[in-house]
Structure 1
Amino acid sequence: MAYDFKSESEVKDFLHNLGIEYRFGCYSEKKPEVCHLLGDYLEAIKKDYEKASKVYKSNCDDNRFGKSCLKFGTYALLGKAGLKEDYKTAYEYFKKGCEDNVSDSCFNQGILLISNAHKCGVMSDPIKGMALLEKSCQGENANGCYYTSGFYISGLKKENKSGKTSSNKTTDSVEYDVPKNMELAFKYATKGCELGSILCCINLSQMYAKGEGVRKNEELAKKFKEIALEMQSQMQETNKTLSFQEGLS
């Protein structure tokens, strides 16, 4: 049946029938991908977040559909749809999503392991967290590339049991779980820039300008600065400007 999308009544009919189609595909045909679409329909069209969260959770638990695991994990993390904010539950669902190779889920799981989420029931594990961020980058997640690159630029400092930065008493130098590595920082910044991360392109410009992680090259530094500026000009949020000092700070 053809719909006239300029007609309000026909649009309503289309959306109503779409919901019926998704419910049939999910509950009768048992198709995980359609169950996920049903969750999206309930969330975006019906604005029924509680029902959507139940669909996502069921589709993750019963069908191990990674995108649904990511969605329910996000609901738990934010305390959305009547759920209590629960970092531990969010982590478990992000983990399931990552095991299904959903790169956004790997990114969220990795960030929780590196951040202060241990205060909310998630055990800190910076080394594993970095591996997950790298996996998210390899899965085409630009934020994963940016954070991986950024952590290799600064290094991840060890924390003692009190939560304070640890240092070597003999040399009084900072100890790292993940040491600085500008070569790896360059590698992941390059990938992130290719994926459209403006901050990765900024970092590349600075690395080439300073010769950090790569041989100094003023021409390439200029090239990536121009790429970043072109990205900035295309951004819709014209009231925001990026400083070229933000990248490596």
Structure 2
Amino acid sequence: MAYNFKSESEVKEYINNLGIEYRFGCYSEKKPEVCHLLADFLESIKKDFEKAGKVYKTNCDDYKYGKSCLKYGTYSLLGRGSKKADFKIAYDYFEKGCNLDEPDSCLNQGLLLVTKNDKPEVKQDVQKGMRILEKACKYENANACYYLSGMYIVGIKKDNLPGSLTDKGNSDDYQVAKDMTRAFEFALKGCNLGNMYSCANLSQMYAKGEGVEKNQKLADEYKSKALDMQKEVQGRQTLTFQEGLNPT
């Protein structure tokens, strides 16, 4: 049936039929990908976060659908669809998603581990977190590659956050020592995957000869690439329905 999307009544009919289709595919045919779409529908169209969260959770637990694990983990982190946020539940579901090879889940699990916070239920473990971020980068998560590059650029000092580090101190003071060669490798991959900050870092590395042989031509090329990406991001309008929730 062809719908006239200029007609309010036909739009409502289309949306109603879409919900019926997703419910049938999920509950009767037990298709995990359709259950995830149903949860997206409940979230984006119905704005019923509580029901959406329940569907994401069940689809993760029962059908091992990684994207639903990611979404329920994000819901738990934000307290969406529930009375309060729960970092432990969020971490557990990011871990489930990562074990199902969902790159964004690995990114979120890794970031929770490398970040020092006041949540005792998620203990900081930089080494484990970086291993998980490496898995996310391997599975072509551009943000994970970028974060790893940044950690190797500055090093991770003991008992400090990555963002508060300096070059001062002995190598024994660091959990992860500065390594510009590794920083370059991760920045290159991140840039190739479309992370503009990785491209900007590459430009600086080539300009200074850090982690790679100095090359002003390539420095200029990567700077231009980063600026082009920035313009594209600023001008882009995206529709997130059916794409899953981006990590925060």
TM-score, L = length of structure 1: 0.87
The CA deviation string for residues 23-59 of structure 1, in whole angstroms up to 9 with x for no partner, is: 1111111111111110000000111000000000111
Separation in 2, partners of 1:83, 1:66: 24
What's the counterpart of residue 244 of structure 1? Answer: none
Deviation at 1:118, TM superposition (A): 6.0
What's the counterpart of residue 241 of structure 1? Answer: none
Separation in 2, partners of 1:17, 1:117: 45
Question: Which amino acid in the other structure matches residue 40 of structure 2?
Answer: D
What's the counterpart of residue 179 of structure 1? Answer: 177
The CA deviation string for residues 38-87 of structure 1, in whole angstroms up to 9 with x for no partner, is: 00000001110000000001111111111000000001101111242111
Uncovered stretches (5+) of structure 1, i.e. residues with no partner: 166-170, 239-249
Uncovered stretches (5+) of structure 2, i.e. residues with no partner: 237-248
SS for the counterpart of 1:177 is: strand
Deviation at 1:120, TM superposition (A): 3.9
What's the counterpart of residue 211 of structure 2? Answer: 213
Separation in 2, partners of 1:71, 1:97: 9
What's the counterpart of residue 5 of structure 1? Answer: 5
Structure-to-structure mapping, 1:117-136, within 5 angstroms: 117=117, 119-136=119-136
Q: Identify the structure with bigger relative contact order (alpha carbons < 8 Å, sequence gap 6+).
A: 2
Q: Is the 8 A contact 2:22 2:34 kept in 1?
A: yes
* Count of aligned positions: 231
SS for the counterpart of 1:5 is: coil
Q: Stretches of 4+ moved more than 6 A in 1?
A: none
Question: Which amino acid in the other structure matches residue 206 of structure 1?
Answer: Q
Q: Is the 8 A contact 2:87 2:119 kept in 1?
A: no
Q: Is the 8 A contact 1:185 1:213 kept in 2?
A: yes
Within the candidate set 193, 196, 199, 1:195 is matched to 193
Deviation at 1:3, TM superposition (A): 1.4
What's the counterpart of residue 76 of structure 1? Answer: 76
Question: Which amino acid in the other structure matches residue 67 of structure 2?
Answer: K
Question: Which amino acid in the other structure matches residue 78 of structure 1?
Answer: L
**1:16 and 2:16 aligned:** yes
TM-score, L = length of structure 2: 0.87
The CA deviation string for residues 151-172 of structure 1, in whole angstroms up to 9 with x for no partner, is: 1111122229xxx99xxxxx86
Deviation at 1:9, TM superposition (A): 1.3
Structure-to-structure mapping, 1:37-116, within 5 angstroms: 37-116=37-116
Question: Which amino acid in the other structure matches residue 60 of structure 1?
Answer: C
> What's the RMSD between the two structures over aligned residues?
2.1
The CA deviation string for residues 103-122 of structure 1, in whole angstroms up to 9 with x for no partner, is: 11000000000112463411
SS for the counterpart of 1:119 is: coil
SS for the counterpart of 2:175 is: strand
Identical-residue share of aligned pairs (%): 62
